[in-house]
Amino acid sequence: MDNDNYKEQLNFDMYASLGISPEVYRYGQKVEASLAGRFDDIDKTAEYNQLKVLKAMQDCRVSEACLLGTTGYGYNDIGRDTLEEVYARVFHTEDALVRPQITCGTHALALALISNLRPGDELLSPVGKPYDTLEEVIGIRPSAGSLKEYGISYRQVDLLPDGGFDYEGIRNNITERTRLVTIQRSKGYQTRPTLSVDRIGELIKFIKDIKPDVICMVDNCYGEFVEEREPSDVGADMVVGSLIKNPGGGLAPVGGYIAGRRDCVENAAYRLTSPGLGKEVGASLGTLKDFYQGFFLAPTVTAGALKGAIFAAGIYEGLGFDVVPGKDESRHDIIQAVTFNNADGVIAFCRGIQKAAPVDSHVTPEPWDMPGYDSKVIMAAGAFVSGSSIELSADGPIKPPYSVYFQGGLTWQHARFGILKSLQSLVDAKAADMDIAGV
Ligand SMILES: *Cc1c(COP(=O)(O)O)cnc(C)c1O
């Protein structure tokens, strides 16, 4: 046996020992072979972003002492302050706030909004409805402590049916009260396309031509390191995200970031800690090594997740399912939607992903009534960091059109296995009509 065949046989046997049938294995080989060009492109992006992060760390003279962290008030926390400088260099912004005290992505976004808006101001979303959890932050759904309660109003301009910006509508909804514009990069759990950095740049330019002093904030969740440029390279005043997604590289155990204009970041710091204290306090505790190392790994971890998403698109598109984005479409985030048109498909998919997890693989996920959702939802997650969605994960609401949203995988190899496991689960449960051998 030559070396290639030998390795192929070893892999085949290993997949078999993890429950993958020969038919599913071979189909996976075929789909992967069709993706070589796209994978090369992703590797090039990862290479560029890896060096961008490395250069920032070297330019900021990150030293061993930076990895240690502080307790108590956290005065003179050089590790924390240097990390914030590293983020600012990578995003090409004046300043950044990167803290374990920012509890999640929603918190980072809420903080950026409420600290930069004042009573009487108006917030505009020119890209349609924002992420679910922001509805309560803004007060679209009544909630204690919402922007609405503080006298901050909200307007929304939906995307056109073809996904384009409604420039006319946006112009008509920028008023003298408009103080901040929020732009969500990722489609999140909607079916609209994710915005490329180029398109975000066009939108920001249009808005600033009408009103130069408006603050443009981008919800950057799931978008970091997918392209060579970030929204802050095309005019965004603030980019905001979660450390248990792309920029945490799978290692950050908690946290969020806001990178942007100095005054905007300062406002956020005064709100996060206290007026007068701002960035000067906030002990980093034991998080710094993971924050640095995770950020260092983030470009390649994101690349693995992207490959997994494209592989999932290839696998399911090839079997006749609707996938968003399509296998050959350009990508601007790491989320992959697959539509099954029946509940059994959604459930079997998520159970397969769970069976592929390094943690809790023996657990069977069930649909449940999750707070804030209007239908049952099933979730698959067996992550090292609870709820981390840069790790292999999937979820789907049990309602038409019965779509699942898949994302993450700390390595391409794991994402690949997870997708094959989801397909095997569909085959074993006879949850969908498929002719794997025939494609
Ligand atoms: C995940 C996400 C959020 C919220 O982040 P949490 O950490 O879940 O609070 C906001 N916007 C988008 C687009 C997201 O993907």
Model pTM? 0.96
Residue 80: name the closest of 232, 290, 241 by CA: 290
310-319 residue pLDDT tens: 999 999 999 9
Report d(CA 79, CA 97) in Å as an integer. Answer: 13
pLDDT confidence of 31, banded at 50, 70, 90? very high
Is residue 23 very low, low, confident or very high in pLDDT (cuts 50, 70, 90)? very high
pLDDT in tens, 237-267: 999 999 999 999 999 999 999 999 999 999 9
Closest CA to 126 of 84, 87, 88, 171: 171
Q: Is 265 helix (H, G, I), strand (E, B) or coil?
A: helix
pLDDT number for residue 372:
62
Q: How far does the centroid of ligand 1 lie from the alpha carbon of residue 419, in Å?
A: 23
Q: What is the pLDDT of residue 439?
A: 80
pLDDT digit string, tens, across residues 186-221: 987 777 889 999 999 999 999 999 999 999 999 999
| Stretch 32-38: mean pLDDT | 96
Which of 127, 133, 386, when mutated, tests ligand 1's pocket best, judged by the most ligand atoms within 8 Å of its CB?
133
Count of residues in the chain: 439
Phi (first) and psi of residue 285, to 5 degrees = 50, -130
When pLDDT is cut at 50, 70 and 90, the band that residue 274 belongs to is very high
Instruction: Spell out the residues 6+ positions from residue 159 whose beta carbon is closer than 8 angstroms to its own.
Output: 127, 128, 165, 166, 192
**For the chain, what is the mean pLDDT?**
96
pLDDT of residue 41: 97
What integer pLDDT is reported at residue 1 of this predicted model?
Answer: 59
Question: 389-423: per-residue pLDDT in tens?
Answer: 999 999 999 999 999 999 999 999 999 999 999 99
Q: What is the DSSP string of 105-123?
A: HHHHHHHHHHHH--TT-EE
How far apart, in Å, are the Cα atoms of 144 and each of 105, 141, 148, 154, 233?
19, 10, 9, 16, 35
How many angstroms is it from 328 CA to the middle of ligand 1? 26
Residue 133 CA: nearest ligand 1 atom is 4
Dist. CA 221 → ligand 1 center (Å): 6
Distance 138 CA to ligand 1 centre (A): 14
Q: What is the pLDDT of residue 374?
A: 75
Evaluate if residue 301 carries a pLDDT over 80.
yes
| Cα(261) to centroid(ligand 1), Å | 22
Contacts of 345 (CB under 8 A, 6+ apart): 402, 404, 426, 431, 432
Best of 219, 220, 334, 377 for a ligand 1 pocket test (most atoms within 8 Å of beta carbon): 219
Per residue in 351-368, pLDDT (tens digit) is 999 999 999 999 999 999
Question: Would the pLDDT of 373 be above 80?
Answer: no
Residues 6+ apart with CB under 8 A from 359: 382, 383, 384
Question: What are the tens digits of pLDDT across the range 311-353?
Answer: 999 999 999 999 999 999 999 999 999 999 999 999 999 999 9
Pocket of ligand 1 (CB under 6 A): 104-106, 109, 131, 133, 184, 186, 188, 219, 221-222, 242
CA of 407 to the centre of ligand 1 (A): 13
Residue 402's pLDDT is what?
95
- The answer to whether 228 and 45 are in contact (CB under 8 A) is yes
Measured in Å, residue 166 CA sits from the centre of ligand 1 at 24
Q: Which two tokens stand for residue 208?
A: 């600033």
pLDDT at position 434: 85
Give the number of other Cβ atoms within 10 Å of residue 158's Cβ.
Answer: 14
User: Which of the four pLDDT bands, split at 50, 70 and 90, describes residue 435?
Assistant: confident
CA distances, 156 to each of 103, 105, 152, 204, 433 (Å): 27, 21, 14, 15, 41
Q: Considering only CA atoms, which residue is closest to atom 3 of ligand 1?
A: 105
